[in-house]
Amino acid sequence: MMNLRALYPWYRHDEYAELSDEMLEAMRAADRQEATYARRARRYKAYYSLDSEGWGENQCVSAPPTPEEIYERKQKTQRIYAALQTLTPTQRRRICNYFGEEMTYRQMAGREGVCPTSVCNSVVGGLKKLRKYEY
């Protein structure tokens, strides 16, 4: 005997059904398999799906960029490089390290042998110059 209320939460009252032993064992095996999958996902922090954005599968299916989009992206890249050329070499290097290499101010300061405050001031000053640049 199987209580259908345990399987179907929308049942408001207990209703029992007669099941064969094979069917009952198959349902229990499926429950154990689902519990094992959930335990492994939790243990290995596998909370992702191939259906979500950002996976290669979706990128392969998406349409390639149009010639206009390629041209606009190239123009934008050229404008960014032109704006970076208006900075001092030190500001340019530090901004590229900060955003491109994702280095912290302390890491850059340690590499260059200066204090982190001067690195911070240099990056902030360079960003102010870039905001003023029209691109």
Q: What is the DSSP string of 39-106?
A: HHHHHTT----TTSTTSHHHHHHSPPPPHHHHHHHHHHHHHHHHHHHTS-HHHHHHHIIIIIS---HH
Q: Residues of the chain with pLDDT > 90: what percent?
A: 49
Q: Which of 23-27, 125-129, 130-134 has the lowest mean pLDDT?
A: 130-134
- Six-digit token pair at 34? 């689902």
pLDDT in tens, 13-68: 888 888 888 988 998 899 999 999 888 888 887 766 655 555 555 555 667 889 99
Predicted TM-score of the model (pTM) = 0.50
- In which band, very low, low, confident or very high, does the pLDDT at 105 lie, cut at 50, 70 and 90? very high
Question: For the chain, which domains are there?
Answer: 1-62 (no CATH), 65-132 (1.10.10.10)
Residue matched to tokens 């243990």: 43
